[in-house]
Structure 1
Amino acid sequence: MTPEDLVAHYGLEPLPREGGLFRRTWAGPERPDGRPEGSAIVALLTADDFSALHRLPSDEVWHFYLGDPLRLLLLAPDGTSDTVVLGPDLRAGQHVQFTVPAGTWMGARVDAGGAWTFFGCTMAPGFTYEDYEHGDPAELTARYPAEAARIVALCRP
């Protein structure tokens, strides 16, 4: 499979503000608050794009499917940071599935030297655009100064 094959097969479209291409593949029944019980997407990032830093009010499970490893920057509410790599090499510490805790700032980019990554994200309760909080580079670099360069590289207006 090539990125072009994946775009055609899934009908991937641009993911507003965050970046990359995506398609929602499932949304559960609607809850009384209007949110779906759960949701799932597939997404494609290429080396010339990234998933901008954002946070959500619920846990989000990331799943690696195809392509090159994906490097996630995680900025926790307690002021700490971490890097997680989604990919097929479990012996090298990569993850095929990783849960980002609610309230954690997250951003991702295809690992250095890679060309593209095809992955998925699942949430329960499901994603709504009202829940999405876009990262501000000035606020995030003030709170996480040790990650300033990576924060700037993973933010967009």
Structure 2
Amino acid sequence: MNQEIQELVESLELLPHPEGGFYKEVYRSKKVIAKDALPDDFSGDRNYCTSIYFLLTSENFSAFHRIKQDEIWHFYGGSSLSVHVIDAAGDYTEHKVGMNFSNGEQPQLVVPAGCWFASSVSTKDSYAFVGCTVAPGFDFEDFELAERTNLQEEYPQHADIIHKLTR
């Protein structure tokens, strides 16, 4: 791990994330939405909103997963981040989160609830430092890590990218 990455991890007290990379929750609203006000697929109350720092290096990837809420990605620094999304219709899109507007990058991206998504850093020996905001607030009960074989069977047309971005 290079010195700049190590400094980010140590200074911000980032922890290994189950899907790859490092993270730290930085905000969780105090108020909650009651379970009976949420769709039936939520297992309990949820905070209004949560946010994390997320650091991903080019030596790693964030594996395909999905959550029950919309997730907003915010670019902070480093190299651009590719966010790979398979939507409800089965269409695959690679979004670029970053500041190089002439290269089609955007500083913010919304991944709609229920979509499978993964992320990667394409610039060798680099990292992407982003933030993720989830509403209703994130809970690991709402997180589903993709199983490679099952996802490839569901979306055989995307088998190569699924193989590359699952463990």
Question: Under a length normalisation based on structure 1, what TM-score does the superposition of the two structures give?
Answer: 0.93
* Separation in structure 2 between the aligned mates of residue 93 and residue 113 of structure 1, nearest angstrom: 19
Change (3 A) 1:75 1:114: farther
Unaligned runs of 5+ in 1: none
Which SS does the other structure have where 1:103 is aligned? coil
Match of 2:41 in 1: none
Q: How many aligned positions are there?
A: 155
Deviation at 1:114, TM superposition (A): 5.1
Match of 2:4 in 1: 2
Larger radius of gyration: 2
Match of 1:125 in 2: 136
Deviation at 1:113, TM superposition (A): 2.9
- Choose from 142, 148, 156 the match for 1:145: 156
Mapping of residues 93-108 of structure 1, within 5 Å: 93-108=104-119
Match of 1:47 in 2: 58
Amino acid at match of 2:13: G
- Choose from 68, 72, 86 the match for 1:75: 86
Amino acid at match of 2:21: G
Q: Is the 8 A contact 1:80 1:144 kept in 2?
A: no
Amino acid at match of 2:133: T
Deviation at 1:87, TM superposition (A): 1.2
Q: CA RMSD in A?
A: 1.4
Name the % identity: 35
Unaligned runs of 5+ in 2: 36-44
Amino acid at match of 1:19: G
Instruction: For residues 95-151 of structure 1, give each alpha carbon's deviation from its aligned partner in whole angstroms, at most 9, with x where no partner exists.
Output: 110000111000001114351111110011110000001111112112222221111
Runs of 4+ deviating beyond 6 Å: none
